[in-house]
Amino acid sequence: MASHRKSRPAGTRVAGIRTPALATAALTSVALLSQTANANPSTDDKPSLEEVEKKVDDLYRQAESATEKYNAAKEKTAKQRKRVDTLLDDLAQRTQTLNDAREELGRNAAAQYRTGAAAPDTATFLLADTPQDYFDQSQLMDRMTGRQKEAVDDYFTQQSATMKKRQEATRSLETLTESQNDLQAAKTTVQTKLADARELLSKLTAEEKARLAAIEKRKQEEAARKAEELARQQAEAERQRQEAAQQQETTEPSDSSSSNSSSDSSYATKAEKALAFARSQIGKPYVWGATGPDSYDCSGLTQGAWKAAGVDIPRVTYDQVNAGTTVPLSSAQPGDLVFFYDDVTHVGIYIGNGMMIHAPKPGAYVREESIYYDGESAIHSVVRPA
């Protein structure tokens, strides 16, 4: 190992080393320490277990974000493909109508030729590049009957409409191609993130995996404690609300209170159906992009749950978060949707007492879990969809 000390003149005594024997021993120790450090260079480079856990969690979150982008691109692609198909069908019908109008013009020209009404002008008409090139000549238009003029007008109307539809279909096809490219890019991103996470986990020893499980268990215990605390707060708030409602009934007419009660009852009925559906999916695997019936991603599960209650909500978290009324976490009711992270990439359905049902992440199954499963700061908002 190269020394970082400046060279000293021969014969100069280094302070603290009084004999050649001591100097030799010291230099030998330095050399041995240097060899030991160089023999294990990877020890410092290996990430800690906490760093691995954070990296894996980040990768799963990134995969879930990409999953929502995939879902949005898939939905957009399906709508665009349907639109393109409709446009192409319409274009085919218009093209047929245009051909019928062209044939009508041909029959009129042939009839004029047979009767001698058109003379040489008809031949010019038939040889023209487009009917407009010839019919613009006013002398021919003057010789046409009302029916013939109607046929010409119809031809040009159909031709113009067909051209517009053809251009519209072309633009839609281009948009469809872009949507398909976005879909493929999002799919590739998901697969890459999941592969990276699996690779990190595969490098852990049995002991490290056990320690990682212990860390996860402590997080779950803390999340459960926070859920119990929220449940107590909500129970107290509900007790105070009922007391206030009873006092109001004794001093004010009951029309408004009965109206609110009816509204709450209607939501509770729908929420009960949504929760019944969600509970019946517990144990099914998380699969990115899945909407059931055998597997789900997070937003696929919440969409399916509320659909079972007769309420249509959008497919992806970015849209679901805007599909209802935002309420404070302290006022969350069973059936409400709980969204997570600043980029709104995860969602679960609240079941009460600080708990929810959700499809957590790849490798996991639909389950009940505390809404604090990733810490209080991870909660973005609570939305009442119906």
DSSP state of 329: G
CA atoms within 13 A on the CB side of 92: 5
Catalytically annotated residue among 61, 193, 315, 358: 358
Backbone angles phi, psi at 337, to 5 degrees: -100, 130
Angle between helix 120-127 and helix 49-115 axes, rounded to 10 deg: 170
> In the beta sheet, which residues pair with residue 38?
none
Q: 227, 259, 233: which is closest to 245 by C-alpha?
A: 259
Contact present, 227 and 372 (Cβ < 8 Å): yes
E-state strands within the chain: 325-327, 337-340, 346-352, 355-358, 367-370, 379-384
Catalytic choice (84, 91, 98, 298): 298
Active-site residue, from 346, 361, 380, 384 = 346
Burial profile 244-276: b = 16 or more Cβ within 10 angstroms, e = fewer: eeeeeeeeeeeeeeeeeeeeeeebeebbebbbe
Nearest to 270 by CA among 208, 209, 223, 333: 333
Q: What are phi and psi of 286, to 5 degrees?
A: -75, 130
Distances (CA, A) of 114 to 100, 109, 366: 21, 9, 80
Sheet holding 355-358, edge to edge: 325-327, 379-384, 337-340, 346-352, 355-358, 367-370
Q: Would residue 4 show up in a list of annotated catalytic residues for this protein?
A: no
**Helix (H, G, I), strand (E, B), or coil: what is residue 370?**
strand
Answer whether 132's CB lies under 8 Å from 156's CB. yes
Structural tokens at position 39: 């023999």
Q: What is the DSSP string of 267-319?
A: HHHHHHHHHHHHHHTTTPBB-TT-BSSS-B-HHHHHHHHHHHTT----SSHHH
Catalytic residue annotation: 298, 346, 358
